[in-house]
């Protein structure tokens, strides 16, 4: 299974659209691109395997594997990248600004349901991150 994340970079955050089989499923928010520096930057574009993960704090979420120079990059709920993320990716239902969105927990439930169906079939799950150009800046 492959998910595609198409990003648009802004000074205050990175916004994205998450597609499955060519259909827009969700949106995403991340920190701005700052040369992959730990804790302040989104991760580089590329193809990453996702694994299911669970913790008491975040409940069910996804682990992004083999990110160059980084570890413990997760996909988990957050509505404001600058205050709630340190390099991770947050799915959101609607974008509201640069690195900001709403209803992230609901978006996470949709993403977990979709990916866990693949995991239950013993399919590997990949996230392909690409970008588009921002004409406004």
pLDDT tens digits along 36-67: 999 999 999 999 999 999 999 888 999 999 99
Of the chain, the end-to-end C-alpha distance in Å amounts to 34
**Domains observed in the chain:** 2-131 (2.40.440)
Query: Is-above-0.85 flag for pTM?
Result: yes
Task: Give the H/E segment covering residue 96.
Answer: strand 94-97
Model confidence at 134: pLDDT above 80 = no
Instruction: Say which DSSP state 86 is in.
Output: S
Alpha helices in 33-132 (DSSP H): 81-84, 104-120
Apex 112 CA angle, 32 and 40, nearest 5: 15
Where residue 111 falls (left for φ over 0; alpha for ψ -120 to 50; beta otherwise) is alpha
pLDDT tens sequence across 93-132: 999 999 999 999 999 999 999 999 999 999 999 999 999 7
**Cα(27)–Cα(80) distance, integer angstroms:** 13
């Amino acid at each position: 299974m492959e998910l595609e994340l198409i990003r648009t970079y802004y000074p205050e955050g990175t916004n994205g659209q998450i597609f499955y089989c060519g259909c827009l499923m969700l949106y995403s928010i991340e920190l701005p691109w700052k040369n992959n520096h730990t804790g302040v930057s989104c991760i580089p574009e590329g193809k990453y395997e996702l694994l299911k993960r669970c913790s008491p704090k975040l409940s069910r979420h996804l682990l992004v594997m083999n990110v160059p120079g980084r570890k413990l990059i997760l996909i988990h709920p957050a509505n404001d990248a600058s205050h709630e993320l340190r390099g991770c990716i947050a799915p959101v239902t609607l974008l509201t600004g640069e690195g900001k969105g709403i209803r992230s927990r609901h978006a996470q439930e949709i993403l977990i349901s979709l990916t866990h169906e693949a995991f239950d079939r013993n399919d590997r799950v990949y996230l392909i991150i690409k970008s588009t150009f921002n004409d406004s800046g």
